[in-house]
Amino acid sequence: MDQMTNPMDKLHGYYFEDLEVGMHDVYAKTITDADIVVFAGISGDTNPVHLNHEFAAGTMFEGRIAHGMLSAGFISTVIGTKLPGPGCIYVGQTLKFKAPVRVGDTVAAHCTVTDLMPEKKFIKLSTQCMVGDKVVIDGEATIMVPSRVK
């Protein structure tokens, strides 16, 4: 190994200088009953619309739905592991929940670079979670991205 190479660089995602408007990445996962139960336990959100079949059947959703923030967490997966990836820091996120997600749905979180702010080394991303062709969450993220220039 080259003595000048930092082994931690292999773990690093994109640097600010590597990013361009239009870059895109995605993460997808099929929601299971276990995902909902574990998320409820971790978050403390035990709203019966997520956990109780009988209660949820009497709501406007006519059945159990996943926590919106469970699906929104997949946006964080893209940002923290793919685009821009390890080393970046979340600064802000807007979310609009447009449709429910149910057990068995595959949620695909899409993130696209929409703006570069060189003065702060921030980027903006459009963020969407989709089930098939339906947008279930729409939003925008602001991310601080490490720079090669110190």
How far, in Å, CA of 106 to CA of 89, rounded? 26
Q: Which two structure tokens, joined as six digits, stand for 108?
A: 């695909």
Does domain 19-144 sit in CATH 3.10.129.10? yes
3-state helix, strand, coil in the chain (%, to 5): 30, 35, 40
Pair type for strands 134-144 and 122-131:
antiparallel
pLDDT digits (tens, 9 = 90+) for 77-122: 999 999 999 999 999 999 999 999 999 999 999 999 999 999 999 9
pLDDT digits (tens, 9 = 90+) for 26-56: 999 999 999 999 999 999 999 999 999 999 9
Q: Which two structure tokens, joined as six digits, stand for 98?
A: 């447009």
Q: pTM value?
A: 0.92
